[in-house]
Amino acid sequence: MNPIKILILTANPSIQGHAPLRLGAEVRRVEEALQRSHYRESFQLTTKLAIQTKDLRRALMVTPQPNIVHFSGHGTGEHGLVLETDTGKMDYVSTDSLTRLFGAFEESEIECVLLNACYSEVQATTIHQFVDCVIGMNQPIGDKAAMEFSEAFYDALGAGRHYDEAFKIGCSAIRSAEAEIPVMKYRKRRGVLALADQAAAKATAIPEPVLVSSPSPPSQSQSIGNVTISGSNNPFNAIQASGNVTLNQSQTQTKAANPNLQAAVEALSQLKQAIALSTALDDTDKAMAAIPIQKLETELQKPQPDQAVTDKMIATLKKTLDGVAALAEPVTKVAMLVAKA
């Protein structure tokens, strides 16, 4: 079964008039929920504390990329989420910045974003255009309710439930009027399987039969050009039966490679080099461009690349590199060759 990679990010800056959040307790309850789950071996949990703005984007670029991104901390509605500075003070990451960040990772492995922060429905709504499942809070939510929701949500995932089911179970675990505060933005794409579905599919899979054909008796006559040798004592019978010689040369011929496909692969390789050498892009921009490039490389290895996939990757690449004049021509060249391939 495919493991689910969870990235928990927390920020708990010093805010005048507010008691510190009990984020450590929430993380511990999530860890315990996964450890006692039926599919506990199918989860990989990473936690990063006291995150700053730069930590947020770097955390999303790790390998392997997370499937679930969980943020716990303060939210301010339209102003965004509250992160920390080097000195532990408040620092905002705006809704627009968050939206652009997750938009850059639209083609990544992120399936679910959980914003366990007050008034975070605003961010959940905008991020949902890029991520299939996003959970936010439409009002302030207390520590206790936030922990109850998180624990039950991961209890459900650990039991093999889908995200929408896990959300409902999480809400049902909140033992107060705050049960109506979590909100989900969700679309279930075809082919997405929960852990229980994967296990059931694997258990019921019927292996394809292996067909073994009996060797055909050697022909009593063999032809080479215009010469035919016949009879039971034909020496070529023994040679053919040994399997060391093939008389039909057409079987060794290979199809000519698609020149447009080869040219597209070469152009993509040149573009990668140009991006690596570019001084107009920072490390984050280069990492974001690497995602559609990697998917293009994978698709171009196929005899018949899926045009819908390549078109989408090209569009993402153009959007990521927009404004870098030196890369405009290489990107256009890749796009033209990929379209022909």
CATH number, domain at 128? 3.40.50.1460
**Is 226 a domain residue?**
no
Residue 215 resides in a domain: no
Provide the pLDDT confidence category of residue 200 given band limits of 50, 70 and 90. Answer: low
Is position 155 within any domain? Answer: yes
- Count of domains for the chain: 2
Q: Does pLDDT of 76 surpass 50?
A: yes
CA Rg value for the chain: 28
User: Which residues span the domain enclosing 288?
Assistant: 259-340
The alpha helices in 22-175, defined as continuous H runs, are: 23-35, 53-60, 95-104, 121-127, 143-158, 163-172
Residues 165 and 273 in one domain: no
Determine the Cα angle at 291 with ends 290 and 296, to 5°: 95
pLDDT at position 236 is 46
Looking at the structure, tell me whether residues 69 and 179 fall in a common domain. yes
User: Which of 133, 167, 200 marks a domain boundary?
Assistant: 200
Are 272 and 183 found together in one domain? no
User: Exposed, middle or buried, 111 (CB in 10 Å: 0-12/13-18/19+)?
Assistant: middle
Cα separation, 145 vs 173, whole angstroms: 8
| Same-domain pairing of 17 and 117 | yes
Would you state the pLDDT for residue 73? Answer: 96
* 189 and 284 together in one domain: no
Cα distance between residue 80 and residue 127, in whole Å: 12
Calpha distance 313→171 (Å, rounded): 37
pLDDT attached to residue 221: 52
- CA separation for the pair 321, 53 (Å, rounded): 22
How far apart, in whole angstroms, are the C-alpha atoms of residue 264 and residue 296? 10
In a domain, 213, yes or no: no
User: Is there a single domain that holds both residue 181 and residue 294?
Assistant: no
Boundary (domain end) residue, out of 200, 217, 235: 200
Structural tokens at position 335: 């796009």
Say which range, 65-79, 104-118, 141-155, 294-308, has the weakest mean pLDDT.
294-308
209 within a domain of the structure (yes/no)? no
pLDDT above 70: percentage of residues in the chain: 79
Same domain? 22 vs 167: yes
Residue 251 lies in a domain: no
Q: What is the mean pLDDT of the chain?
A: 83
**pTM score:** 0.64
pLDDT for residue 137 is more than 60: yes
160 shares a domain with 79: yes
pLDDT of residue 215: 53
Q: What is the pLDDT at residue 113? A: 98
User: Is 218 a member of any domain?
Assistant: no
CA pair distance 310, 312, nearest whole angstrom = 5
- Please give the average per-residue pLDDT across 234-247, as a whole number: 47
The answer to whether residue 59 is domain-embedded is yes
Q: What one-character DSSP code corresponds to residue 16?
A: T
Highest mean pLDDT among 187-201, 226-240, 308-322: 308-322
What are the helix and strand counts (H, E) for the chain?
12, 11
In whole angstroms, what is the distance from residue 170 CA to residue 166 CA?
Answer: 6
276 and 171 fall within a common domain? no
Shared domain check, 9 and 152: yes
pLDDT tier at 52, thresholds 50, 70, 90: very high
Q: Look at residues 164, 179, 200 and tell me which one is the last residue of a structural domain.
A: 200
Q: Pick 51 or 336 by higher pLDDT.
A: 51
**9 shares a domain with 145:** yes
